[in-house]
Amino acid sequence: MKTLNNLQKISLLVAVLFCVAAPTMGYLKIGLPPVIIVGGAAIIGFFFWYFTYLRNPTDPKIILPLFVITVACLQIHIVEEYLTHFGPAMSRLFDIPWSEKSFLMVFALVGPTIYILTALGLYYRIPLAGFIAWFIFIGPGVMEFTHFIFPLIQPQLEPTNLKNVTQTINGIAVTNMPNYYIRATGHYYFAGMYTAILPMIPGIYSIYRLIKEHKIQSKKTN
């Protein structure tokens, strides 16, 4: 196994810090769901990245189109989430302070900036960019299936009230929290559910394609 160079060591350190810091900050600011979803995707993505991309970055001709397509599908999905108040819906479901403003900051402003820089990093085969890409493939690629579970979970805030509610949670005012509980609405839907499959398709395919490519490259070097 190749010894890590300085750039790879720095990327490894940053990736480990991200796996710890991201779910921790999510837990402190929002609650347990980000730890499960974000933390789970980060840790799983870390192991895939560590054993595939870190020492032998994938050819940009292969990984870059996969990443761009996955991110494009994710952004379409986020449009539906915004229009159907995903953040406030999650707040009502789990009694967590996830406001519309917080949702927009993360997914509409900070997220696209990271995606652009990651695409640039993948082009130049920067190890850390590979970690972010794997995190996206695992997150939207696998974790989006949770949208199909959320309608079955009883909200912690006014589960039988069909009207949008506004409430202060942990000192943060969360407005217009919709109720998508199927036993209350009679309709199987949750914010973002219709387009949740969009990033899942290229995300899951990317995982398969990159593992296959890694096996091919490993055979060539052995």
User: Number of helices (H) and strands (E), helices first, in the chain?
Assistant: 10, 2
User: Are the C-beta atoms of residues 56 and 182 closer than 8 Å to each other?
Assistant: no
What is the rounded distance in angstroms from the CA atom of residue 198 to the CA atom of residue 201? 6
What is the rounded distance in angstroms from the CA atom of residue 205 to the CA atom of residue 222? 26
E strands along the chain, which residues? 165-169, 172-177
Give the model's pLDDT for residue 16. 96
Q: How far is CA 27 from the centre of its chain?
A: 15
Q: Which residue do the tokens 């996969």 mark?
A: 66
What is the rounded distance in angstroms from the CA atom of residue 175 to the CA atom of residue 184? 20
What is the rounded distance in angstroms from the CA atom of residue 42 to the CA atom of residue 23? 9
User: Are the C-beta atoms of residues 203 and 70 closer than 8 Å to each other?
Assistant: yes
Q: Dihedral through CA 113, CA 27, CA 45, CA 40, nearest 10?
A: -140
- Asked if pLDDT for residue 221 goes beyond 70, the answer is yes
**pLDDT digit string (tens) for 198-216?**
999 999 999 999 999 999 9
**pLDDT digit string (tens) for 112-149?**
999 999 999 999 999 999 999 999 999 988 899 999 99
Averaged pLDDT for residues 105-118: 92
Reported as a pLDDT band with limits 50, 70 and 90, residue 217 is confident
**pLDDT digit string (tens) for 7-28?**
999 999 999 999 998 888 877 7
**pLDDT digit string (tens) for 85-103?**
999 999 999 999 989 998 9
Q: What is this structure's pTM?
A: 0.92
What is the rounded distance in angstroms from the CA atom of residue 99 to the CA atom of residue 91? 8
Q: Residue 188: how many CB atoms within 10 A of its CB?
A: 11
**pLDDT digit string (tens) for 150-178?**
999 999 999 999 999 999 998 889 999 99
What is the rounded distance in angstroms from the CA atom of residue 133 to the CA atom of residue 185? 37
DSSP-assigned letter for residue 38: I
Q: How far is CA 143 from the centre of its chain?
A: 7
